[in-house]
């Protein structure tokens, strides 16, 4: 069915797909360089614990119109054209977010979901990731705020209630916002 539908992929503006392990390797083969109109994509894996035969999915990286990307429960990286994205909603380890967000200079909205807390956070001596156009920020872990600078944020939401000792990242992040902000905890 995916093969039959992919024959019309040049006209797709939105793609919503729930993947099973058997389909993941076929995505690149069927869709690579065949998504010129795709503006919005949503990929969710049926089972986040599946083992894929591929190291990453690359077909979305070459979609020239893609500006809105959602990736849920991905066991392997899905490469995105981060420099074009205005909306980013991804669940992955922090190191993958860090790489994508450093290139995502046009983001207006970001949902940063950490899926693996097993890895230690990197050294904070590095420069923060500057998201100078970001207006809406949603994070699953307060620690994320230690690594971002987003002075235009209007809306900030934290998906988990933080322990008292993690309120420092929130205080430090909000101190650099240049105008009134709605904060949802």
For the chain, the domains span 2-118+128-184
| Interval 108-126: pLDDT, tens | 999 999 987 677 888 877 7
3 state SS of 139: strand
| Interval 34-70: pLDDT, tens | 999 999 999 988 765 566 667 888 999 999 999 999 9
Looking at the chain, which runs of residues are DSSP E strands?
14-19, 40-45, 68-72, 87-92, 109-114, 129-130, 136-139, 148-149, 155-158, 182-184
pLDDT of residue 139: 95
pLDDT of residue 38: 98
Rounded distance between C-alpha atoms, residue 86 and residue 68, angstroms:
6
Q: What percent of the chain is predicted at pLDDT more than 70?
A: 87
pLDDT of residue 182: 61
Q: Quote the pTM value.
A: 0.85
């Amino acid at each position: 069915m995916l093969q039959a539908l992919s024959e019309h992929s040049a006209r797709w503006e939105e793609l919503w797909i729930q993947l099973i392990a058997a389909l993941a390797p076929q995505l690149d083969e069927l869709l690579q360089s065949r998504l010129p109109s795709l503006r919005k994509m949503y990929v969710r894996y049926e089972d986040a614990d599946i083992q894929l035969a591929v190291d990453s999915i690359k077909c979305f990286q070459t979609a020239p119109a893609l500006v809105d990307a959602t990736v849920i429960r991905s066991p392997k990286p899905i490469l995105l054209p981060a420099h074009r994205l205005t909306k980013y909603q991804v669940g992955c380890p922090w190191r993958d977010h860090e790489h994508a967000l450093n290139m995502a200079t046009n983001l207006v909205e970001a949902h940063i979901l950490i899926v693996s807390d097993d890895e230690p956070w990197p050294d904070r001596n590095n420069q923060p990731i500057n998201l100078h156009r970001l207006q809406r920020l949603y994070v699953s872990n307060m620690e994320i705020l230690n690594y971002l600078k987003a002075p235009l944020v209007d809306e900030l939401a934290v998906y988990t209630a933080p322990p008292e000792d993690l309120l420092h990242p929130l205080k430090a992040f909000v101190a650099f916002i240049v105008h009134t902000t709605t904060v949802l905890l």
